[in-house]
Each structure stands twice: as C-alpha cells, then as structure tokens.
Amino acid sequence: MPAPTSLRRRLAPAAATVLALAVGIAVGAGPLSDVGTGTDQLAARTGAAPALTDASAVRALEASGALALTTAPRVYDDRLAGRDVAILTMPGADDDVVDGLREQVAAAGARVSGTFGATTELAGPSGTALVDSLGRRLLAQNPDLPVDADAPTYERMGGLLGMVLASREPAGQPPVRATDAVAESLRRSGLLTGPDAVRTRAPLVLVVLGSDDSAGDAGATRSVDAVTTGLLTGLAQRAVGTVVVDDVASGAGGAMRRLRDAGALAGVGTVDGVDLEAGRVLAVLALIRADDGVRGAWGVHGADGPVPTPAG
C-alpha cells in the first residue's frame, strides 16, 4: 500500500540526500577525478580510447547509478503525476540515454506525449533557407498562431515547433487543425520526426542535445550554437517549462558549456551528465522544478549545484 502523503513528504528530503550522495560518487569516481581513468566518462573528457582498466572506479559508477535509480521514485514523490512531457532530441542524441530518460519520466508519474527528433536540416545551418521560407509560409497560412512572424528565422521556427509539441497550459492542450498542419509540414519537409498523431501538447519539454560534430571548426560551431539558441528560445516561449540536457563532456567543454557561458540557456533549466544514471534522475528533478517555475543550471558542471532538489 502506498505510503501516506505526509510520510512521503517527510521521506523525500532524506531520499534527496541519498541521491546527492549518489551523484557525488559518480562525480568523484568518474568524470572529474583521475581515479578511474578507464571509465567511458573520463575517456569522453580526455578524448582517450575507452579502456575499463580501473575496476574500483567502474564499480563506484555502477553503485552510484543503482543508488540513484533506487532512490529516485521516493525523491520524485509523484510530483509529475498527470503531467505530460514532450521529448525533443537533437541530431546525434544517444538512443540509450533517451530511453533512460523516458523511464525516469514515467517513474515520476508523468506521461511522455511523444518523442520528436530535430533533423540535421532543422538543427544545422545548412537548412537555413528552407527553415526561413517554410516558417514564413506556415505563419501566412495560419495567422492566428501566437508566433511572432517577424522574429529571427530560428526563433520563429522554434515557436512553431513549440506550437506542435508544447503548451503553456499546465494541464496541456489538445492539438488543433493549425498545429496539426504545422506538424505535417515539418515532417514532410524533413525537418522533424515523430508521431503522426499527437495526443496532447505537453506543458513540459525535455530537450536532449546531440553529438558536437562541429567541434574543431570555430565558424561551424558558432553557427550551430546560434541555430540551437534560436530554436530553444522560441520553443521555451510556448511551454510551461523546458529542460535541456546533455552528457558530462558537453558540460565540461562542449555545446552545453558554450551555451551556458553565452547566456543562451537562461530561460530554461539545464542538466549535464545524463550519460550517467544519476544524471538522468537529475533531469527529471529539473523538470519538477521547471513545473514549479524554477530554472537553474544543474549537474556535474552546473553552476547551481549538482542536484535540483524539489521544494518541500
């Protein structure tokens, strides 16, 4: 029988402390330590070939993940029960990470309204002409949509994307003819993948960043970052809360670090470290905080600390 609400509320802070310990184990044994230099996470940071040579570090990472996953439901405390969450993946997002995030969203009591994928044509600068012309045409055809037609190209498209999968109503909203038309146009133009029919537009959006293919080319990196910034800015304006996540390496010196440093993610919550089980738990805690109207930078390299502890 489920624990009474008052008891669950008393247990949640203790469980959050245990989760913080799990995150500390993961950080200390892997990405930020020279102990366990064979872990996949440290290999990603250094560029070295992954070779699991330090068994104790591997065991510590496994233990931290198991601890985090075991503790997570108590920390979540069903705070997302009845909420819908849309997942948007950027090109190169890890399928296993996305699957793990879906599992944790469900563990918090929420429903995944759909998993959508931004294609390279949408999320890369090579598709700018198509993104610009299609965005203008869609707004001309659907002038009642509350998206600024004079916004910059990618912010305008981010707003249209938000109309397809997100809602500013806490309970979510059903799709309407105009949003269905936009979704179909985005799919047919090769800009977006996802379900043919959207059951509901979700108040919460979880964005999973992908591989940093532009690394090493400063000009290409700036272009990709500008595209990502525009899309996320427009998208976040159409949702109650948006959380952007990526792996440890991204938070250390990749796309997540650049976007955070540039202030491009000020309007959303962020979590780095979702390649770790504990990091995926943190992502859902960030969704809970976003549902409360709280934004922050959390995770292994988060300026606001590792754990977005839910309010009591």
What's the burial of 308, exposed, middle or buried (CB within 10 Å: 0-12/13-18/19+)?
Answer: buried
Residue 159 lies in a domain: yes
**CA 249, 253, 258, 260 torsion: positive or negative?**
positive
Residue 230 lies in a domain: yes
Q: Structure tokens of 168?
A: 């500013």
Residue 128 lies in a domain: yes
Question: Given strand 269-272, what is the order of strands in its sheet?
Answer: 192-193, 111-118, 84-89, 204-208, 241-246, 269-272, 297-299
**In this predicted structure, what is the pLDDT of residue 6?**
42
Residue 228 lies in a domain: yes
Q: What is the pLDDT of residues 107-125, one digit of tens each?
A: 999 999 999 999 999 999 8
Residue 129 lies in a domain: yes
Q: Structure tokens of 15?
A: 């469980």
CA distance 202 to 173: 7
Number of domains in the chain: 1
Compute CA distances 277 → 58, 136, 168, 181, 284, whole Å: 13, 41, 30, 37, 11
Q: What is the pLDDT of residues 245-286, one digit of tens each?
A: 999 999 999 999 999 999 999 999 999 999 988 899 999 999
Residue 280 lies in a domain: yes
DSSP states of 213-257? TTTT-HHHHHHHHHHHHHHHHHHHTTSSEEEEEE-HHHHHHSHHH
In this structure, what is the dihedral angle of CA atoms 88, 93, 94, 98, given to the nearest 10 degrees?
Answer: -10
**In this predicted structure, what is the pLDDT of residue 211?**
79
pTM for the full predicted model = 0.84
Q: Structure tokens of 229?
A: 């910034």
SS3 letters across 183-207:
HHHHHHCCCEECCCCCCCEECEEEE
Compute CA distances 10 → 7, 19, 74, whole Å: 5, 15, 10
**In this predicted structure, what is the pLDDT of residue 191?**
98
**CA 299, 300, 304, 308 torsion: positive or negative?**
positive
**In this predicted structure, what is the pLDDT of residue 67?**
77
Q: Please give the residue range of the domain that contains residue 128.
A: 78-299
For residues 20 and 306, the answer to whether their CB atoms sit within 8 Å is yes
- The 10 Å Cβ neighbour count of residue 268 is 23
Residue 114 lies in a domain: yes
Closest CA to 16 of 59, 71, 93: 71
User: What per-residue string of b and e applies to 177-188 under the rule 16 or more CB within 10 Å gives b?
Assistant: ebbebbbebbbe
CATH number of the domain that 284 lies in?
A: 3.40.50
Mean pLDDT by 10 residues, the chain (312 residues): 42 48 50 38 45 55 75 90 97 96 97 97 94 98 96 98 97 96 97 93 97 73 94 98 96 95 94 92 95 94 86 60
Residue 17 lies in a domain: no
Q: Structure tokens of 164?
A: 């397809």
Q: Which residues contact 120 (CB under 8 A, 6 or more apart)?
A: 91, 126, 127
